[in-house]
Amino acid sequence: MAAPTQPLSINLATVREQWTLGEAVEACGRHGIGAVDPWRDQVAKFGLAESARAIKDHGMRVTGYCRGGMFPGATPAERQAAIDDNKRAIDEAATLGAECLVLVAGGLPKGSRDLREARKMVADGLAAILPHARASKVPLATEPLHPMYAGDRCCVNTLKQALDLCDALGDGTGVVVDAYHVWWDPDLAAQVARAGSRILAYHVCDWLVPTRDMLLDRGMMGDGVVDLPYLRNLVEKAGYRGAIEVEIFSAENWWKKPGDEVLRTCIERYRTVC
Amino acid sequence: MAAPTQPLSINLATVREQWTLGEAVEACGRHGIGAVDPWRDQVAKFGLAESARAIKDHGMRVTGYCRGGMFPGATPAERQAAIDDNKRAIDEAATLGAECLVLVAGGLPKGSRDLREARKMVADGLAAILPHARASKVPLATEPLHPMYAGDRCCVNTLKQALDLCDALGDGTGVVVDAYHVWWDPDLAAQVARAGSRILAYHVCDWLVPTRDMLLDRGMMGDGVVDLPYLRNLVEKAGYRGAIEVEIFSAENWWKKPGDEVLRTCIERYRTVC
């Protein structure tokens, strides 16, 4: 398969242990990478205005802003606090010129075992922030997370679920297709096709065998078992022309390597594996 | 919710580090438990004839036999070896009087990233052993495993997928509904209802938050976030009247406790949580 025509983007979680936001943006520029996706804690630490300036100075696209969501809460006050926080995230995304706000739904509220109720809270939370997102021209990109996170992190676990939410909510909503979270799904081809223009971002890394940690042991593209060319072909056929964004949480491997080595490897694998 | 009316069964993996098959069967009898589900390695170690005798002597039901499957292989010879081995597992299940042979499909063949192909190999493998299973009156119970096992262990990851296989194969096939593997599924209620009389076994344990190991950190019922009464209600409404089978892999907790304590806890949680 030929190298991707979509541009490379670096989700800045990939080098979060090595660099500040400013250093990471500078390094991406130095390596010829033209797009990034920063996380809120990175932006908060470096400063919102400073982050926006660094991104602008390096002429970077911002392919997403990570992340809003986390809507379920045990009390109405907790749920309202999440809604308020998401509105702030929308404002930050607008300031940064992000192409979308990435949303991770959130898991079960403390003490709850009711996934159906948690899922309803997610739908309600999305509906509550959507007017502000539309007014701010920040599309809401719901990212289904792997089912192993259903309890504590994200109760939207399939692309079908995320698209059902988009169907219900309408304009200004879409999805993130992240290879790590969806590669196993028997319904993958049909749901990616269904997503069409609602694919707001495409994330890649790899699923390692064995996976030693459920959160922080993601692999570099090519080091695991995910058929990335197959998935890229699906998103291309669905009409996706956005970036290929590398997002790797790797506490024991990539986060311990020099940032420049990580970026060089991302570029090489993007060309040969993605 | 009232205590279950379905009888308790102990999957013998739950006490695999504590006891031989003979000791485990004797202990179950002593605790008033009338059903077990042994694993092939336990039976091989204790002896097939000796296992059958111990089970019969204690008047135990055998609610399943774990496990066949593992159909995908890199070469035709590997795939044929799996088929031959599954036929032996069927014979052993018949000797033990097991109510079904539990099948775990298998993951990607070594070096492959093609899940679609692996899934086709599973369908082919099931079709190849089905005549022998029917002749032996051993129903084949395909158990969808959690998507986190798609790469290395089981590429049948949803109840829908397992039921699609049953639809294609017909008589003599069914599914295992294991709470640990399916609790997250947004399509759970619909698929359990669809399964109906094809639910050949119902397994319980719990999903711990956090889960420290993807294979060997299952929780005791009540210690995690799975809504077990909800799922029991679904399988009951689907017509299931079989056993509630406890299957816990727990290297750092339950496998280290005295077997009698494990069984007492299973009984108590079965009455109060399941």
pLDDT in tens, B32-51: 999 999 999 999 999 999 99
B142 interface with A at CB cutoff 8 Å: no
Contact B148 A151 (CB under 8 A): no
A157 interface with B at CB cutoff 8 Å: yes
Q: What is the pLDDT of residue B5?
A: 87
Contact B184 A147 (CB under 8 A): yes
Q: What is the pLDDT of residue B3?
A: 79
Q: Is A237 helix (H, G, I), strand (E, B) or coil?
A: helix
Neighbours of B7 (CB within 10 A): 16
Tell me the average pLDDT across A62-72.
Answer: 98
Q: Which of 3.10.28.10, 3.90.1150.10, 3.30.2130.10, 3.20.20.150 would CATH assign to domain B8-272?
A: 3.20.20.150
Judge whether A159 and A208 are in contact, CB under 8 Å. Answer: no
Of B8, B39, B43, B46, the C-alpha closest to B262 is B8
At A112, list the tokens: 């709850």
Chain B residues whose beta carbon lies within 8 Å of the beta carbon of residue A227: 113-115
CA distance B97 to chain A (A): 34
Tell me the average pLDDT across B219-248.
Answer: 98
At B274, list the tokens: 């399941």
A167 interface with B at CB cutoff 8 Å: no
pLDDT in tens, A187-242: 999 999 999 999 999 999 999 999 999 999 999 999 999 999 999 999 999 999 99
DSSP A48-88: HHHHHHHHHHTT-EE--EEEEE----SSHHHHHHHHHHHHH
Of B29, B88, B98, B35, the C-alpha closest to B58 is B29
Tell me the average pLDDT across A87-99.
Answer: 98
> How wide is the angle at C-alpha A165 spanned by C-alphas A159 and A166, nearest 5°?
90
Question: Does the structure show a pLDDT above 70 at B1?
Answer: no
Judge whether B104 and B181 are in contact, CB under 8 Å. Answer: no
Of A152, A186, A214, the CB nearest to B161: A186
Of A112, A155, A209, the CB nearest to B151: A209
Judge whether B181 and B162 are in contact, CB under 8 Å. Answer: no
CA distance A273 to chain B (A): 12
Backbone conformation region of residue A242, classed left if phi is above 0, alpha if psi is from -120 to 50, else beta: beta
CA distance B137 to chain A (A): 30
Chain A residues whose beta carbon lies within 8 Å of the beta carbon of residue B115: 183-184, 227
Give chain B's mean pLDDT.
97
Residue among A110, A112, A113 with most chain B CBs within 10 A, to mutate: A113
Contact B186 A225 (CB under 8 A): no
Q: In what order do the strands lie in the sheet with B101-104?
A: B61-62, B35-37, B8-11, B244-246, B199-204, B173-178, B140-142, B101-104, B65-69
The domain segmentation of chain A, as residue ranges, is 8-272
Of A113, A155, A227, the CB nearest to B113: A227
The CA distance from B27 to B166, in Å, is 36
Chain A residues whose beta carbon lies within 8 Å of the beta carbon of residue B152: 209-210, 225
Give chain A's mean pLDDT.
97
At B34, list the tokens: 């009338």
Would you place residue A5 in the very low, low, confident or very high pLDDT band (cuts 50, 70, 90)?
A: confident
Instruction: Give me the phi and psi of B152, to 5 degrees please.
Output: -115, -5
What ipTM goes with this model? 0.96
Amino acid at B270: Y
Judge whether A209 and B152 are in contact, CB under 8 Å. Answer: yes
A191 interface with B at CB cutoff 8 Å: no
The CA distance from A234 to B21, in Å, is 49
Tell me the average pLDDT across B149-158.
Answer: 98
* DSSP 8-state secondary structure symbol assigned to residue B224: S
Q: What is the pLDDT of residue A67?
A: 97
Chain A residues whose beta carbon lies within 8 Å of the beta carbon of residue B167: none
Chain A residues whose beta carbon lies within 8 Å of the beta carbon of residue B234: none
Instruction: Give me the phi and psi of A217, to 5 degrees please.
Output: -130, 45
Contact A225 B147 (CB under 8 A): no
For B203, the enclosing helix (H) or strand (E) is strand B199-204
Contact A152 B185 (CB under 8 A): no
- Give the largest Cα separation in chain A, rounded: 51
CA distance B147 to chain A (A): 6
pLDDT in tens, B61-107: 999 999 999 999 999 999 999 999 999 999 999 999 999 999 999 99
Of A113, A157, A211, the CB nearest to B226: A113
Of B163, B247, B145, the C-alpha closest to B199 is B163
Q: What is the pLDDT of residue A91?
A: 98
The CA distance from B240 to B192, in Å, is 10
Amino acid at A188: L
Contact B115 A147 (CB under 8 A): no
Judge whether A217 and A252 are in contact, CB under 8 Å. Answer: yes
Would you place residue A1 in the very low, low, confident or very high pLDDT band (cuts 50, 70, 90)?
A: low
Stated length of chain B:
274
At A100, list the tokens: 């979308």
Contact B108 A210 (CB under 8 A): no
Neighbours of A116 (CB within 10 A): 13
Chain A residues whose beta carbon lies within 8 Å of the beta carbon of residue B113: 225-227, 230
Residue among A114, A214, A233 with most chain B CBs within 10 A, to mutate: A214
Neighbours of A17 (CB within 10 A): 14
Question: Does the structure show a pLDDT above 90 at A136?
Answer: yes
B204 interface with A at CB cutoff 8 Å: no
A192 interface with B at CB cutoff 8 Å: no
pTM of the predicted model as reported, rounded to 2 decimal places = 0.97
Chain A residues whose beta carbon lies within 8 Å of the beta carbon of residue B179: none
A224 interface with B at CB cutoff 8 Å: yes
Of B68, B12, B1, the C-alpha closest to B245 is B12
